[in-house]
Amino acid sequence: MKDFFLRIVRAAWAGLLLASASLAAAAAIQITDDRGRTLRFDEPPRRVVSLLPSSTESLCEMEQCARLVGVDRYSNWPDSVQRLPKVGGGIDPNIEAIVALRPDVVLLSVSSRVSDRLEALGLKVVALEPKTHADVRRVLRLIGELFAVPPEQGADRLWRVIDAAVQAAAQSLPPQARGARVYFEVSRGPYAAGQPSFIGETLARLGVRNVVPAELGPFPRLSPEYVLRAQPDLVMVSNRNGQPLALYPGWQNLSAVKAGRLCVFGPEPSDILVRPGPRMAEAARIMARCLSEKFATP
């Protein structure tokens, strides 16, 4: 009889261990980043280094700012992240500084050249590449999954705000702005926002035409002469350094410039416009204000 009860106790204990293991497995987090690499976490990462301003902003908008222990030099919103240790840029991060922060995960761009080195040092790396609206929505969901934020409180809520803002911005435009041919310069080079980029898709949803065709890719480097040949109706320029903008040679002959249809965005609006994250709602409103002002009826 004693052996019988021992067998029952052992069987129950084994079942309890199995159930505990199953629950632990269910609680574990598994994601696949934009390199196609699958990563597993036993719990949401508690210590995070972000080398992407858009990821920094997404985390904070999901009320996960407290997890950040370090950010890149360009992460500057919300204000609270400016007090965090800076670990260089996305292209030239300080590896030693990152390791010293003992992060559970590092968020960075697919194009970053330090992923392999960080992983060789034992750090987990999640590489992201939000280039289109669909990419942004997917990355928001991935970040939400990684930090166990329910979609209704995180990714889905943020995307609804973005989607509604773009739609409202489009409806706010005067009739004379609709169908305008627009050139958007992301940074000096000039690097442009092509039709397949998240900026290009926002422009399309606003009802204007991008003079940089899809076949050139999301963010092609163009020549100033290309823009001269395209002769856009309106030019938007991101000017992050805040210095007076010097026009490229020949741009004074652009019909848009002659007509005063040139919007130069300073550092703060430029940050908003070129980051594929939760502030895309505000970006749509900034673009719409530019279009409305430049095509207003005299």
Please tell me if the domain spanning 29-148 has the same topology as the one spanning 158-294: yes
**Does 20 score more than 50 pLDDT?**
no
**Does 25 score more than 80 pLDDT?**
no
**Does 12 score more than 50 pLDDT?**
no
Percentage of residues of the chain with pLDDT beyond 70: 91
The maximal CA–CA distance of the chain, rounded, in angstroms, is 101
Question: For residue 2, what pLDDT is reported?
Answer: 52
**Does 3 score more than 70 pLDDT?**
no
Mean pLDDT (the chain) is 92
Task: Give the alpha-carbon dihedral of 239, 243, 248, 249, to 10 degrees.
Answer: 170
Q: How many CB atoms are closer than 10 A to CB 156?
A: 15
What is the fold, at CATH topology level, of the domain defined by 29-148?
A: Rossmann fold (3.40.50)
d(CA 19, CA 23): 6
What number is the average pLDDT over the span 212-217? 98
At residue 298 the predicted structure's pLDDT band, cuts being 50, 70 and 90, is low
- Domain extent listing, the chain: 29-148, 158-294
Question: For residue 19, what pLDDT is reported?
Answer: 39
The helix/strand/coil state of 276 is coil
Question: For residue 24, what pLDDT is reported?
Answer: 38
Question: For residue 246, what pLDDT is reported?
Answer: 83
Specify the CATH architecture of the domain 158-294. 3-Layer(aba) Sandwich (3.40)
The 10s digit of each residue's pLDDT in 92-114 is: 999 999 999 999 999 999 999 99
Question: For residue 288, what pLDDT is reported?
Answer: 99
> What Cα–Cα distance (Å) separates residue 84 from each residue in 67, 69, 72, 130, 148?
11, 6, 9, 24, 23
Judge whether 103 and 48 are in contact, CB under 8 Å.
yes
**Does 16 score more than 70 pLDDT?**
no
Q: What single letter denotes the amino acid at residue 175? A: P
Sign of CA dihedral 8, 13, 17, 20: positive
**Does 190 score more than 60 pLDDT?**
yes
**Does 155 score more than 60 pLDDT?**
yes
What number is the average pLDDT over the span 74-86? 98
Name residue, tokens 């890719």: 217
**Which segment of 5-14, 23-32, 67-76, 129-138 scores lowest on mean pLDDT?**
5-14
